[in-house]
């Protein structure tokens, strides 16, 4: 098994922290009577950047040298390294970690769900939905965002950028900054899932949890933030291999 059990545990807890902080900032900005209510898009994208930094740092500290926290990254990694066993170990850990993280966000903001009447706002604290519903274009947005994520992340860690390797502790900060940039530049169309686990795990949590006044879990759209990131990651992996970016 690529990376061993420490890697699987790191993928679980790293993704768990990613969602606790990432979905947590969304809940803080959207739920009624939150002190952070109406904090806005800049706050949300900054919070997600820190969430990615923290999640990758936790996974690394637990012995996960990959720190994917994202099935799309795992698929790209398999294309580039051939470690196909990661599909059966990393991805379930990522989805379960995301589901558990979303459940913790629900518990943390427990009194606020009942105070919030807007079912769509409550759903947004879990999974993504497009600003303009157009599945084909929404899919393209997710493909582009994830393509940029995988391509630039690979470049940041490449030997041409850092011949001696990235300095210890710097990697999580670089990835967090990259995700902040993607959120600011490309996130306005679909909410930049760019990560199937980030969307699917919390969407499952939304469907399963007894959230006061919740509406639909949006399963008709759910394929977009799963398929789009995987396609984008695969395209990026093909370019990376073809052009020897790494």
> Does the structure show a pLDDT above 60 at 2?
no
pLDDT per position as a tens digit, 233-242: 999 999 999 9
Question: Residue 164: what pLDDT?
Answer: 85
Question: Residue 98: what pLDDT?
Answer: 98
Question: Residue 237: what pLDDT?
Answer: 97
Cβ atoms 2, 86 nearer than 8 A: yes
Q: Torsions phi, psi of 138, nearest 5?
A: -60, -40
Output the six-digit token pair for 4: 């061993």
pLDDT per position as a tens digit, 162-217: 888 888 889 999 999 999 999 999 999 999 999 999 999 999 999 999 999 999 99
pLDDT per position as a tens digit, 13-67: 999 999 999 999 999 999 999 999 999 999 999 999 999 999 999 999 999 999 9
- Per DSSP, the residues of the chain read -TTHHHHHHHHHHHHHHHHHHHHHHHHHHHSTT-TTTT--HHHHHHHHHHHHHHHHHHHHHTT-SS---SHHHHHHHHHHH--TTHHHHHHHHHHHHHHHHHHHHHHHTHHHHHH---HHHHHHTTS---SS--HHHHHHHHHHHHHHHHHHHHHHTSTTT-TT-PPTTHHHHHHHHHHHHHHHHHTTTT-----HHHHHHHHHHHHHS--TT-----TTTTTHHHHHHHHHHHHHHHHHHHHT--
pLDDT per position as a tens digit, 71-99: 999 999 999 999 999 999 999 999 999 99
The predicted model scores a pTM of 0.96
Q: On the CB side of 202, how many CA atoms lie within 13 Å of its CA?
A: 31
Cβ atoms 105, 34 nearer than 8 A: no
């Amino acid at each position: 098994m690529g990376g061993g059990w420490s890697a699987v545990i790191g993928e679980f807890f790293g993704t768990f922290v990613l969602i606790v902080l990432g979905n947590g900032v969304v809940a803080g900005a959207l739920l009624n009577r939150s002190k952070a209510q109406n904090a806005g898009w800049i706050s949300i994208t900054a919070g997600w950047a820190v969430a990615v930094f923290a999640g990758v740092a936790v996974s690394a500290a637990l012995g996960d040298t990959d720190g994917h926290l994202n099935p799309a990254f795992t698929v790209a990694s398999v294309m580039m390294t051939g470690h196909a066993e990661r599909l059966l170990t990393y991805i379930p850990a990522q989805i379960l970690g995301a589901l558990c993280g979303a459940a913790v966000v629900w518990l943390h903001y427990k009194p606020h769900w009942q105070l919030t009447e807007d079912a769509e706002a409550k759903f947004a604290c879990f999974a993504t939905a497009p600003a303009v519903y157009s599945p084909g274009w929404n899919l393209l947005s997710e493909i582009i965002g994830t393509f940029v994520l995988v391509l630039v992340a690979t470049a940041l860690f490449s030997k041409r950028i850092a011949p001696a390797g990235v300095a210890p502790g710097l990697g999580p900060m670089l990835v967090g900054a990259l995700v902040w940039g993607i959120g600011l530049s490309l996130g306005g169309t679909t909410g930049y899932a760019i990560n199937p686990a980030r969307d699917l795990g919390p969407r499952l949590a939304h469907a399963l949890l007894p959230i006061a006044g919740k509406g639909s879990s949006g399963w008709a759209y759910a394929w977009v933030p799963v398929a789009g990131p995987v396609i984008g990651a695969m395209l990026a992996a093909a370019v990376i291999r073809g052009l020897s970016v790494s």
